[in-house]
Amino acid sequence: MKYYVNEGCIGCGMCACTCPEVFSMSDDGVAVAIETEVPEEVFDSAAEAKDGCPVGAIEEA
């Protein structure tokens, strides 16, 4: 499974806090997801980050 961050991201930083293994903040001030498959051990926290995004900007790739 992979995730990506769509153009709706408002840069709140929550996903990077919840699951730093998958999400990080770019220099542009928006979140980016790792391009590789999400490691199994962080499936739950990555899903939590997705569900917690206030604008629904995280989608499954």
Residues that bind ligand SF4 in the complex, under the rule CB under 6 A: 5, 9-15, 31, 53-55, 57-58
Of 7 and 40, CB closest to ligand SF4: 7
Which letter, b or e, does each residue of 24-40 get, where b requires 16 or more Cβ atoms within 10 Å of its Cβ?
A: ebeeeebbbbbeeebee
Distance CA 48, CA 1 (A): 14
* Unique residue bearing structure tokens 């998958």: 22
Of 55 and 61, CB closest to ligand SF4: 55
CB of 40: closest distance to ligand SF4 in angstroms?
21
Of 15 and 38, CB closest to ligand SF4: 15
